[in-house]
Amino acid sequence: MGDVSRETPSEPPAPPDVARRVFSSASLPRVQQYAALLADAGVVRGLIGPREVPRLWERHLLNCAVAGELMPEGSTVCDLGSGAGLPGLVLALHRPDLRITLVEPLLRRTTFLEEAVAALGLDTVSVHRGRAESLHGRETYDVVTSRAVAPLERLLGWSMPLVAPGGAMVAMKGSSAAQELADSAEALARWGAGEATVHEAGVGLLDRTTMLVRVARGRSGQVGCADATGASSGSSQSLGKTRRRRS
């Protein structure tokens, strides 16, 4: 596999006008560089499908950037199953105040991630090859995030042991987010989770907003499954109760 920076780039789609409202003028050029990497090396290496290239901005880059609404300034962030760097690399480009660890078990993906981090000059990002469980008991983070990795009930088991006191899991989900949250009530109780809400990110910016499930670490300070066998504008829904939150 060649170095990401040496791949012959194909032409990625131009950023839509809304990208200039989401990304700062300083960060947008590097986001465009990352889009070019995804459109070429990402496709060649099988990290994204070729049909995704025309909708890179709307479906992937902007979609991931607005997830930062639920990430406090200066947070440490763990991106589980990072794949091609979504959402972790986008968040790093959009929010240089975040310190991000990309967790991915597959070598071909971590190779791409390491090369992309170097090509983009992201000194706030590190790459860990392994599964989430390899970090359990070793590391914790203010925010543990993921995108299209697993159903929420299974995701809780991978994510919650990595959440630091006062932190939260923030999972990117689709239109079924509220139903997944409701269906995971028993799992949330087993993990002793704190407040669990659905947040709609990108309201007033994106035509297609991003649905996030945020699960706070419980106040007990103990994260573990009881069954041994086993910041910005938007709208939030907490187990059937809908309300507007202020940033």
For residue 161, is the peptide bond before it cis, meaning its omega torsion is within 30 degrees of 0?
A: no
Q: State how far the Cα of 83 lies from the Cα of 33, in Å rounded to an integer.
A: 18
Residues in the annotated binding site for S-adenosyl-L-methionine: 81, 86, 132-133, 147
Helices and strands, number each (H, E), in the chain: 9, 9
Name the token pair of 92: 């790093």
For the chain, where are the E strands, in sequence order? 76-80, 99-104, 125-129, 141-147, 163-173, 196-201, 210-216, 234-238, 241-245
Q: What is the DSSP letter of 41?
A: I
Taking Cα atoms as reference points, which of 195, 197, 202, 237 lies closest to residue 217? Answer: 195
Residues in the annotated binding site: 81, 86, 132-133, 147
